[in-house]
Structure 1
Amino acid sequence: MDIFQLFELHHLLFLVFGLLLGIFVGALPGLTPTMGVALTIPFTFSLGPTEGLIILGGIYCGSVYGGSIPAILFNVPGAPASVATTFDGYPMTKNGQGRKALELATIASVIGGLFGMILLLFFAPVFADFSLRFGPTESFWIALFGITVIAAISEGSVTKNMIGGSIGILLSFIGISSITGTTRFTIGMDSLVGGLHIVAVLIGLFAFPQALRLIEQLPLKEKEKSKEFSVGKQTVKASFMDIIKKPKAVSIGSGLGALVGMIPGAGGNIASILAYNEVKRFSKNKRKFGKGEKKGVIASESANNAMVGGSLIPLLTLGIPGSPTAAIFLGGLLIHGIWPGRNLFVENADVAYTFLYSLLAAQLVLLVLGLAIIKPMMKLTRVPSEMMAPVILSFTIIGAYTTQNNMFDIYTVVFLGLTMFFLQKYGFSPAPIALGFILGPIAEQGLLHGIQVGGANGNVVSYFFTGSLNIILFCLVLITVIFSLFQSFSLKRDLKVLSVLKSITWKGFMSIRAIRWLFAAGINVWLIYYVFQMEFQQMIFPLITLLFLLFFIFVEYVNSLFVTTQPNKPKKHLKSKDQGIILSLLLSISILMLLTTVIGFYFQVLLLMIIVPFFAYFKNWKNTKPRTIVVTAILFTLMMYIVFAVVLRVPL
């Protein structure tokens, strides 16, 4: 009977409404699936348990998929789980295959989601027992595996990727330690006691720098940028065939996504990263990844959507959430008087099974909705960069603030965004920093809990290296490290050792490049001294991270001594006078974003929507008409007011 209840008209309407709202939430930078579910729970109070859960399930599924849209079109992950989608999704857009990438992401998301939901529906009790086998040591090794993957999946220098990952881990230490309950790395600032929020960090690393790059490119001729935002013409049938003919990517993504989803606390970010890495590992053309490889998009999106079903397995059967969003979902269940556990499918069988069938049907509805919105979504790529940049900036402000209603999150976005904007000019990627920030706390908690439990059992070392799961995960970490080192050396195999050694000069030791790395090493040594003042439990993982960071800095310092290994210099596309003007504009906009409490959010949005395009117009960089600029600015500000002040009632 339960499956027929799903086809009642009001249930279908609730499902479609939840999916559309979820896609909208996921597509907006800063509005994560967790936030979407949390904001919707109060609106389900007046509904019955079945209707409320159907809406929440639709939002969960839709928002995870929706995060791929800005990730592919603008290199801005709409959700943490979409970080890996940017690796190949945005390069496909720059290559004129944006529509193709969205089609692949939609189809892969549905296949991965169906796989996860089928496991949830038919095999939940079996896999729930498996998820209980993941203790602190298993969590430590899988987080460490994700961290070591950083070097393998990201483009550019392996050491720079590892430096970025280490920086991300260090950023995650700021605030109150979850183990000791005391503060660290707060440098006496009360605002840092709560730590850096993951949404603010992701927006600062991806969305804010992307908006600054769009502004930086304003003086360029339109034809130089036309390919980057080409709509492209593809067919859905061809995209289906791409996945069917090469099922390895979607199979690995779906399997790993569901598996990682069952691990309490892991989440879709780890699932998509690990799936991307494994697909790249088993690919014959590894160098295509990061340059628009279809398999990268397929693996990432199938994994983070399969995670949804996987994360609900331990939640519904054991009451243990498998992801942050599933933890919020638990609150929704309890509010409606439904207690998870084995009795759920006995005492509330009608609600439980209708909900599960709705999640299965949600994937099929998502396929229709996702493919239907691709064409209108592609029109966003035609929006002039002088208009798109302030739109992205406006969403970064609202996305950062609405997470905790905290102005400090906006300051975090601006500071990290400016830093990342300049770091990218010298070969650093935001992805390793983001992954380090996400995985660092999981690895530290697993390490410290493992030390405590192992010490109580009499042998810490054997506790970490015994058990089939520990051994398998340790071997994966070891293989990934060896693979990364081999990859690093193979890229330089054509260099002759003697010629490289002869290229070292005494001037190289005191070059600007070398001095920069010496300065970084000095800061690192000071941090090591600072860490030694902490208690053992507080200092152990930061100390390990800093020692590895010092090693990678030393490697880059040695590289800076060679004439043949020049660092990545900023690409000079602009005239010297334009560079100075653009830099002044970027700094002015950054300052304006810090003045939210002074001038108000909506007036700030209006100013951004007017200043950037008018500046480009008066400099003769773009020819958008002044009347169009003013009307667009007013309408967009009004839309923001209606959505966030009237509908969502965000306290701005």
Structure 2
Amino acid sequence: MFEIHHILVLVIGLVLGIVIGALPGLTPTMGVALMIPFTFSLGPTEGLILLGGIYCGSVFGGSIPAILFNVPGAPANVATTFDGYEMTKQGKPRKALELATISSVVGGLFGMILLLYFAPLFTEFSLRFGPTESFWIAIFGITVIAAISDGSVTKNLIGGCLGIALSFIGISTITGTARFTFGFESLIGGLHMVAVLIGLFAFPQALRLLETLRKKDHVTNVPYKPSKSTIKESFGDVLKRPKAVTLGSGIGAFIGMVPGAGGNIASLLAYNEAKRFSKNKERFGKGEKNGVIASESANNAMVGGSLIPLLTLGIPGSPTAAIFLGGLLIHGIWPGKNLFVDHADVAYTFLYSMIAAQILLLVVGLAMIKYMTRLTHIPAYFMAPVIISFSIIVAYTTQNNVFDIYTVVIIGLFMYLLQKFDFSPAPIALGFILGTIAEQGLMHGLQLGGARGSAFTYFFTGGWNIILYGLVVITILIAIIKSVKNRNGSKKTNRFSTWEKVTSLRSLCWLGFSGFVALCIYLMMEMPLQQRLFPQVIFMFLLILAIIEFIKTCLMHKVTTKSRPTVYFSFIVLIGLVSMISLLTTFIGFYSQVLILMLIVPLYVYTTNKKEVSIKKILVVSFSFTFVLYLVFTVLLRVPLPSLF
């Protein structure tokens, strides 16, 4: 492991992984998959070390945009945005990144030690998780949405249901036939997870940055002067919070060993449990350090946990581990019990290098923080088009599919509007991710349970099933109690008549939405049972939630009388231009699109406040950024992109 070329390969893998993770939409799975061809000319040991370094680095790298810009670099970093971005808004981006780096290393070491010394003990545990356990884990993750998210519990659950509904589009994994495509051939393959996540987080964030251009404090993305932080203090912050680190590392490794779960569930559950066992639950979502520590320690502990069933049984514990399996097979290495006998030199060198990767990650990560925090000082009129440009290039290169660009823009616009009505993107994203897992677990469980005599008994018996659905019930009860307390605490004198509330615009919107959902449930009756069972269940639950919101609107005691926000016509035109140019990327070419966006957004600021930016600065930055993208993606990486010629 300490041979110079092994250390060099590991460092290269870590740095590449951090860069890949820091680019919104480039997930660890994509990073490992893209680098597999580069391992063909390397030996088995060097190839696995390179892939392992990219895996570890990309999981950590996803926390960088999540903390600095509220844009998760990967699905596993969604929970990091809850408190990480709040710390950035409070002027503490360096502190948040230091906490993320240190807790990532602690969680990563925990997962790797389990992998190295206790892998054989956990192989039997991995095999015990069947479809019912996967179903209950997914349902638990969905119900956790209501417990961890601020705001209305019903709105958070509605968002989760909408996310699950998006996961239904395309070919059903149960029947193998297409559904909910509405006659569009592009929807047969379903919505890609990367495009959906970019549409939910990155694109709306760019639009919100555009919205700040009318204000005077839009020079940078950090409204307050960043406070200085020392590494020693950050180490102390992590060590003083053993509960968050322990919960994050333990849950992360546990979920990592469950085949198919992945870090997105691990970080969410760790965040939820850290909040559940905290004495200051109200601080979560407002810049709480425990939230960042629990989420990031879980992400990286999942890496070691996901490799346990892969190396011992050949069963990947996460999507990235599945790509890793391909890397093993390419080099003629078959995972299983004989791996540590027939290829002991390769296996143990790789395992020890993964532990060394965590130590190097601590050094590299902390060294990069000083430079990463400077990204927050980029003016919003340059950062917004940069985020949009990266969103489009990542969405397209994922599958070389133009429809993914349309997905990003359309979902991004809808999410931007939904946020105006206090909807959060996190529940929708988690619903989309967990929806497929839940449906597969349900349908497979019904088939296996029916073959064994009773599907009900199959789902509700067994130690792990009882524990998991017990957690689901507890989480729902906690969410209901919290909702009742919040409602009782905010009671005020009713100032409007019930009829005025029923006929208000908000009530009519919820009533119309309820009617639309009911119509969808009716139209699904024509579909085969296996295709419509889970969708109908979700839509029935969605109908109940919509009716609850309608009743709450009619019976609410507090009637807000806020003045309507001023809507600027020029801002609406800017949003329309940005969206239209993004949709026309395939017709005007990617680099033309980048250059146009980099010009029109600063020019919008120039027309409103000439002192803010100069024409010379706009031209230099716009052409320089476009040229750099051309060198990186076309000259160096040779990535196929939409082109005018």
Q: After superposition, where does 1:266-281 map in structure 2 within 5 Å?
A: 266-281=261-276
- Alpha-carbon spacing, 1:522–1:294, altered in 2? closer, same or farther (3 Å): same
Task: Provide the residue aligned with 1:31 in structure 2.
Answer: 26
Sort the Cα spacing of 1:56 and 1:496 in 2 relative to 1 into closer, same or farther, 3 A.
closer
The answer to whether 1:513 aligns with 2:502 is no
* Residue matched to 2:633: 644
- Determine which of 112, 129, 146 is the counterpart of 1:134: 129
Find the counterpart in structure 2 of residue 548 from structure 1: 541
Q: Which of 423, 432, 437 lines up with 2:427 in the alignment? A: 432
5 Å-filtered alignment, 1:471-550, equals 471-495=466-490, 499=493, 503-550=496-543
> Would the alpha carbon gap of residues 605 and 495 (structure 1) be closer, same or farther in structure 2, given more than 3 Å must change?
closer
Kindly, what percent of the aligned residue pairs are identical? 66
C-alpha distance in 1, partners of 2:310/2:216?
Answer: 53
| 1:321 aligned counterpart, secondary structure | coil
Give the C-alpha shift of residue 123 in structure 1: 0.6
How much does 1:551 deviate?
0.7
Report Cα offsets for 1:358-384 as digits up to 9, x if no partner.
100000000000000001000000000
| Mean CA deviation greater in 517-526 or 39-48 | 517-526
CA distance in 1, matches of 2:531, 2:37: 38
User: Which one-letter code corresponds to 1:362 in the other structure?
Assistant: A
Asked whether the 8 Å contact 1:17–1:55 carries over to 2, the reply is: yes
Q: Which moved more, 1:33-42 or 1:618-627?
A: 618-627
CA 54–226 in structure 1, closer or farther in 2 if over 3 Å, else same = closer
Structure 1's consecutive aligned runs of 4 or more residues displaced over 6 angstroms after TM superposition are 223-226, 567-571
| Alpha carbons 1:425, 1:571 under 8 Å: kept | no
SS of residue matched to 1:422: helix
In structure 1, distance between residues paired with 2:525 and 2:334: 46
Q: Displacement, 1:227?
A: 4.8
In 2, the alpha carbon distance for the partners of 1:211 and 1:223 equals 13
Contact 2:220 2:379 in 1 (8 A): no
Determine if the alignment matches structure 1 residue 582 to structure 2 residue 568: no
Does the CA-based 8 Å contact 2:66-2:77 persist in structure 1?
Answer: yes
Rounded Cα–Cα distance in structure 2 between residues aligned with 1:375 and 1:616: 29
Contact 1:231 1:379 in 2 (8 A): no
Aligned AA (2:2): F
User: Secondary structure of 1:541's partner?
Assistant: helix
Deviation at 1:212, TM superposition (A): 0.4
Matches of 2:189 and 2:223, distance apart in 1: 39
* 592, 603, 606: which one aligns with 1:603: 592
2:69 corresponds in structure 1 to: 74
Change in CA separation of 1:103 and 1:410 when aligned onto 2, cut-off 3 Å: same
- Check whether the contact 2:220–2:378 (CA below 8 A) recurs between aligned residues: no
1:327 has 2:322 as partner: yes
Residue 562 of structure 1 pairs with residue 555 of structure 2: yes
Aligned to 1:3: none
1:594-633 matched pairs, under 5 angstroms: 594-620=583-609, 623-633=612-622
1:210-251 deviation line (CA, Å, top 9, x unaligned): 000001100111289775364321111111111111110010
Asked if structure 2 preserves the Cα contact closer than 8 Å seen for 1:401 and 1:409, the reply is yes
Q: Which amino acid aligns with 1:166?
A: C
2:46 corresponds to which residue? 51
Amino acid at match of 1:534: M
Q: Give 1:509 shift.
A: 1.4
Q: 1:634 is matched by which residue type in structure 2?
A: F
| 3-state SS of paired residue (1:222) | coil
For 1:226 and 1:176, locate their aligned partners in 2 and report how far apart those are by CA, in whole Å.
41
Match of 2:169 in 1: 174
The match for 2:211 is: 216
Shift of 1:619: 1.6
CA contact (8 A) 2:66 2:78 kept: yes
Distance, in Å, in 1 between the alignment partners of 2:126 and 2:246 is 20
Q: Which amino acid aligns with 1:592?
A: I
Asked if structure 1 preserves the Cα contact closer than 8 Å seen for 2:255 and 2:266, the reply is yes
After superposition, the Cα gap between the structure-2 partners of 1:241 and 1:515, relative to the gap in structure 1 and judged at 3 Å, is same
The residue identity in structure 2 corresponding to 1:14 is V
- CA distance in 1 between partners of 2:417 and 2:491 (Å): 32
**Do the aligned residues in 1 keep the contact of 2:255 with 2:305 (CA within 8 Å)?**
yes
Partner of 2:341: 346
CA 1:50–1:215: 2 relative to 1, 3 Å? same
CA shift, 1:507, in A, is: 2.0
AA paired with 2:599? I
CA distance in 2, matches of 1:295, 1:200: 30
Whether contact under 8 Å (2:163, 2:430) holds in the other structure is: yes
Count the aligned residue pairs: 641
**Amino acid in structure 2 at the alignment position of 1:287:** E
Q: Distance in 1 between matches of 2:335 and 2:221?
A: 52
* Separation (CA, whole Å) in 1 of partners of 2:219 and 2:593: 31
Matched-pair contact (CA < 8 Å) for 1:91–1:290: yes
Partners of 1:570 and 1:522 lie apart in 2 by 30
Output the CA distance in 1 between the equivalents of 2:468 and 2:270.
Answer: 15
Q: Would you say 1:401 and 2:390 are equivalent positions?
A: no
Contact 1:98 1:230 in 2 (8 A): no
- The normalised TM-score by structure 2 is 0.97
Q: Deviations over 1:429-469 (max 9, x none)?
A: 00000000000110110000000000000011010111100
Instruction: Tell me the SS of whatever aligns to 2:213.
Output: coil
Q: Is contact 1:316–1:341 with CA below 8 Å preserved after alignment?
A: yes
Distance 2:597 2:219 in 1: 25
Say which SS state the counterpart of residue 489 (structure 2) adopts. Answer: coil
Would the alpha carbon gap of residues 566 and 179 (structure 1) be closer, same or farther in structure 2, given more than 3 Å must change? farther
User: Which among 249, 256, 260 is matched to residue 261 of structure 1?
Assistant: 256
Q: Aligned to 1:90, which of 85, 88, 104?
A: 85
Which residue is 1:383 aligned to?
Answer: 378
Q: Deviations over 1:67-91 (max 9, x none)?
A: 0000000000001100000000000
Q: Deviations over 1:592-645 (max 9, x none)?
A: 001111110011111111111111112217612221211111121111112211
Does the 8 Å contact 2:218/2:380 carry over to 1?
no
CA contact (8 A) 1:137 1:446 kept: yes
Assess, with a 3 A threshold, how the Cα gap between structure 1 residues 618 and 569 changes in structure 2: closer, same or farther: same
Distance 1:630 1:224, change over 3 A: closer
Q: Is the 8 A contact 1:504 1:562 kept in 2?
A: no
Instruction: Check conservation: 2:219, 2:379, Cα contact below 8 A.
Output: no
Tell whether the 8 Å contact from 1:253 to 1:300 is kept in structure 2 after alignment: yes
Q: Where do residues 237-316 of structure 1 align in structure 2 (5 Å cutoff)?
A: 237-316=232-311
Rounded Cα–Cα distance in structure 1 between residues aligned with 2:111 and 2:613: 47
The answer to whether structure 1 residue 20 and structure 2 residue 15 are counterparts is yes
